[in-house]
Protein backbone atom coordinates (compact mmCIF):
# COMPACT_ATOMS: atom_id res chain seq x y z
CA UNK A 1 0.00 0.00 0.00
CA UNK A 2 2.84 2.42 0.84
CA UNK A 3 4.62 1.65 -2.44
CA UNK A 4 1.47 2.52 -4.37
CA UNK A 5 1.11 5.82 -2.47
CA UNK A 6 4.75 6.76 -3.16
CA UNK A 7 4.40 5.86 -6.83
CA UNK A 8 1.37 8.13 -7.18
CA UNK A 9 3.21 10.96 -5.39
CA UNK A 10 6.27 10.62 -7.60
CA UNK A 11 4.17 10.53 -10.77
CA UNK A 12 2.26 13.63 -9.60
CA UNK A 13 5.49 15.55 -9.00
CA UNK A 14 6.86 14.53 -12.39
CA UNK A 15 3.63 15.54 -14.13
CA UNK A 16 3.58 18.93 -12.40
CA UNK A 17 7.25 19.43 -13.16
CA UNK A 18 6.75 18.95 -16.89
CA UNK A 19 3.35 20.59 -17.29
CA UNK A 20 3.09 23.04 -14.41
CA UNK A 21 5.11 25.96 -15.80
CA UNK A 22 4.98 27.45 -19.25
CA UNK A 23 8.45 28.62 -20.21
CA UNK A 24 7.66 29.87 -23.70
CA UNK A 25 8.71 33.43 -22.83
CA UNK A 26 12.08 32.42 -21.42
CA UNK A 27 14.93 33.37 -23.74
CA UNK A 28 17.60 30.63 -23.70
CA UNK A 29 20.77 32.63 -23.05
CA UNK A 30 22.94 29.51 -23.16
CA UNK A 31 22.04 28.94 -26.81
CA UNK A 32 23.81 32.07 -28.07
CA UNK A 33 26.55 31.05 -30.47
CA UNK A 34 28.47 34.31 -31.03
CA UNK A 35 31.22 35.53 -28.72
CA UNK A 36 29.77 38.41 -26.71
CA UNK A 37 31.31 40.41 -23.87
CA UNK A 38 30.96 38.98 -20.37
CA UNK A 39 27.64 39.45 -18.60
CA UNK A 40 25.70 39.80 -21.83
CA UNK A 41 21.95 39.46 -21.86
CA UNK A 42 19.14 39.47 -24.36
CA UNK A 43 17.47 42.86 -24.60
CA UNK A 44 14.73 41.73 -26.97
CA UNK A 45 13.70 38.77 -29.09
CA UNK A 46 12.83 39.60 -32.68
CA UNK A 47 10.50 37.10 -34.36
CA UNK A 48 9.60 36.82 -38.05
CA UNK A 49 10.41 40.42 -38.97
CA UNK A 50 10.46 41.25 -42.67
CA UNK A 51 13.32 43.64 -43.32
CA UNK A 52 15.96 44.69 -45.82
CA UNK A 53 19.71 44.09 -45.78
CA UNK A 54 21.74 47.29 -45.92
CA UNK A 55 25.42 47.65 -46.77
CA UNK A 56 27.51 50.20 -44.88
CA UNK A 57 31.19 51.09 -44.49
CA UNK A 58 32.07 50.78 -48.19
CA UNK A 59 29.98 47.62 -48.58
CA UNK A 60 32.00 45.69 -46.01
CA UNK A 61 29.47 45.67 -43.15
CA UNK A 62 25.93 44.37 -43.61
CA UNK A 63 23.07 45.16 -41.24
CA UNK A 64 19.36 44.54 -40.99
CA UNK A 65 17.17 47.61 -41.05
CA UNK A 66 14.60 47.80 -38.25
CA UNK A 67 11.28 48.30 -40.10
CA UNK A 68 9.79 49.99 -37.00
CA UNK A 69 12.68 52.03 -35.57
CA UNK A 70 12.60 52.68 -31.86
CA UNK A 71 15.07 54.07 -29.38
CA UNK A 72 14.93 50.83 -27.42
CA UNK A 73 15.82 48.43 -30.24
CA UNK A 74 17.73 50.81 -32.51
CA UNK A 75 17.24 51.53 -36.19
CA UNK A 76 19.71 48.88 -37.44
CA UNK A 77 20.79 45.48 -36.17
CA UNK A 78 24.36 44.30 -36.70
CA UNK A 79 24.37 40.48 -36.82
CA UNK A 80 27.42 38.64 -35.59
CA UNK A 81 26.55 35.62 -37.74
CA UNK A 82 25.31 37.03 -41.06
CA UNK A 83 25.30 34.26 -43.69
CA UNK A 84 27.37 34.97 -46.80
CA UNK A 85 24.29 34.46 -48.99
CA UNK A 86 22.50 37.34 -47.18
CA UNK A 87 25.28 39.87 -47.78
CA UNK A 88 23.50 41.64 -50.63
CA UNK A 89 22.32 45.22 -50.21
CA UNK A 90 18.58 45.54 -50.79
CA UNK A 91 17.77 41.84 -50.24
CA UNK A 92 14.43 41.29 -48.50
CA UNK A 93 14.53 38.73 -45.71
CA UNK A 94 12.42 37.46 -42.83
CA UNK A 95 14.53 37.16 -39.69
CA UNK A 96 14.36 36.07 -36.08
CA UNK A 97 17.04 36.66 -33.50
CA UNK A 98 18.15 38.35 -30.31
CA UNK A 99 19.21 41.94 -29.67
CA UNK A 100 22.10 41.67 -27.24
CA UNK A 101 23.10 44.09 -24.52
CA UNK A 102 25.91 44.10 -21.98
CA UNK A 103 27.35 46.42 -19.31
CA UNK A 104 29.11 49.37 -20.92
CA UNK A 105 27.29 49.04 -24.25
CA UNK A 106 26.61 52.79 -24.15
CA UNK A 107 30.36 53.40 -24.26
CA UNK A 108 31.01 51.00 -27.12
CA UNK A 109 30.77 52.01 -30.73
CA UNK A 110 27.28 51.36 -32.07
CA UNK A 111 27.97 53.10 -35.38
CA UNK A 112 26.61 50.26 -37.49
CA UNK A 113 23.78 49.01 -35.30
CA UNK A 114 22.69 47.16 -32.19
CA UNK A 115 24.46 43.85 -31.52
CA UNK A 116 22.26 41.10 -32.95
CA UNK A 117 22.41 37.32 -33.08
CA UNK A 118 20.52 35.75 -35.95
CA UNK A 119 18.66 32.50 -35.22
CA UNK A 120 16.73 32.14 -38.49
CA UNK A 121 16.59 33.79 -41.88
CA UNK A 122 14.30 33.30 -44.86
CA UNK A 123 15.23 34.82 -48.22
CA UNK A 124 12.26 36.57 -49.80
CA UNK A 125 13.76 37.68 -53.14
Report the length, in residues, of the chain: 125
How many C-beta atoms lie closer than 10 Å to residue 36's C-beta?
Answer: 17
Would the pLDDT of 1 be above 80? no
pLDDT value of position 116: 94
pTM comes to 0.70
List the domains of the chain with CATH numbers: 24-123 (2.40.50.500)
Q: Annotate 54-122 with three-state secondary structure.
A: EEECCCCEEEEEEEEEECCCEEEEEECCCCHHHCCCCCEEEEEEEEEECCCCCCCCCCCCEEEEEEEEE
pLDDT digits over 61-100, tens only?
999 998 887 767 788 999 999 999 999 999 999 999 999 9
Q: Give the end-to-end CA distance of the chain in Å, rounded to a whole number.
A: 67
Give the mean pLDDT of the chain: 78
Q: What is the CA radius of gyration of the chain?
A: 21
* Residue closest to 13 by CA, chosen among 22, 5, 24, 25: 5
Beta carbons of 86 and 78 less than 8 angstroms apart: no
Amino acid sequence: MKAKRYTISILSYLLLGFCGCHKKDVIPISSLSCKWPDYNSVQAKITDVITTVQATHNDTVFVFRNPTPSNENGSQWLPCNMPQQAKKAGMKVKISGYIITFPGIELSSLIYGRPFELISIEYLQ
